[in-house]
Amino acid sequence: MKKSLLITFILLFTNSLFSQTAEFIADTVSLKKRTGNNERVYEKALEMEWIINGEKLFFGSKPIKVIPNEKKIDTILFRNSSNSKYDIIICNIAEASKFSFEYNPCCGGFNVRKENKGKLSRDIIFEISEKNENDMYLGTLGQTGILLEKDNIENHINEICRSAMSPNIYSIAISKIRKNCDSLKNCEELLCEIQDGVAKDGFEYEVIETKMEFLYMPLDEKILKVLFNKKTNRTELKYVW
């Protein structure tokens, strides 16, 4: 069945930032330290590349300036090396702040840091509608998950089980699953499950079908709400405070 992505916003504040710009840099100053002074790792990290607003950013390049617009979804392209494909990262550049991309020595990816040390949201709300009562759906934020058991109910989740060393760029997904894997080959493991707002031990599961999946980079305190309609296979994204 054809899938589509509908992106909208709930805007509760409408202060204009169009006279100012957001700035993105790749932090070269700390790169040697973050790569452990390993020349091979350092040279590999230099291959990292971002495309923002049609401009390329890499370690050693000039900053990229973007006019903030809280009314639109922004996409940033990223690849780890010159031979790899670009990943699409969804975000919302809504503030005239300075953001630094820093090499992550643990996982080979990168972290985003807000210059004024403002909080970056780690919260997601999942909501599903038109689901079959016999089907089991799982919403995941990184290695944290929550079962989406009822229609039109907000399911709050926070990446509470995220390792401090993991990148703060998150994989978000809604999948149709079954517990108790039929084979180890197709088995996945959830690090922890959110139940009534509390983090519990996770479980093993098999993905029957991934309904939607994307990478997300929070740039402020807004909470992203992900709504999935089972009947139409449409995903809607909203920002709320």
- Nearest of 108, 28, 111 to residue 62 by alpha carbon: 28
| Residues 6 or more apart whose Cβ sits within 8 Å of residue 16 | none
Whether residues 131 and 214 fall in one domain: yes
Whether residues 125 and 208 fall in one domain: yes
Residues of the chain with pLDDT > 90, as a percent, come to 65
Mean pLDDT of the chain: 87
pTM for the full predicted model: 0.84
The pLDDT value recorded for residue 8 is: 45
| DSSP conformation class of 85 | P
Q: Which of 73, 93, 114 is the last residue of a domain?
A: 114
Q: Is the model more confident about 19 or about 175?
A: 175
Whether residues 127 and 105 fall in one domain: no
Whether residues 50 and 105 fall in one domain: yes
The range of the structural domain enclosing residue 50 comes to 7-114
Tell me if 1 is assigned to some domain.
no
Whether residues 176 and 157 fall in one domain: yes
Q: By CB neighbour count within 10 A (0-12 exposed, 13-18 middle, 19+ buried), where does 36 fall?
A: exposed
For residue range 28-85, what is the model confidence (pLDDT) as tens digits? 998 989 998 899 999 999 999 999 999 999 999 999 999 999 888 899 999 999 899 9
CB 216 within 8 A of CB 87: no
Residue 11 predicted with pLDDT over 50: no
Q: Which of 76, 93, 114 is the last residue of a domain?
A: 114
The pLDDT value recorded for residue 239 is: 84
Residue 121 predicted with pLDDT over 90: no
Q: What is the number of structural domains in the chain?
A: 2
Q: Which of 53, 79, 114 is the last residue of a domain?
A: 114
Whether residues 109 and 136 fall in one domain: no
Whether residues 71 and 146 fall in one domain: no
Residue 185 predicted with pLDDT over 70: yes
Whether residues 129 and 236 fall in one domain: yes
Tell me if 2 is assigned to some domain.
no
Tell me if 25 is assigned to some domain.
yes
SS3 content of the chain, % helix, strand, coil (to 5): 5, 45, 50
Tell me if 191 is assigned to some domain.
yes
Tell me if 140 is assigned to some domain.
yes
Whether residues 130 and 205 fall in one domain: yes
Domain CATH number, residue 142: 2.60.40
Could you give the CA distance from residue 26 to residue 99 in angstroms, rounded to a whole number?
A: 9
37, HSE (Cβ side, Cα atoms, 13 Å) = 0
Whether residues 169 and 220 fall in one domain: yes
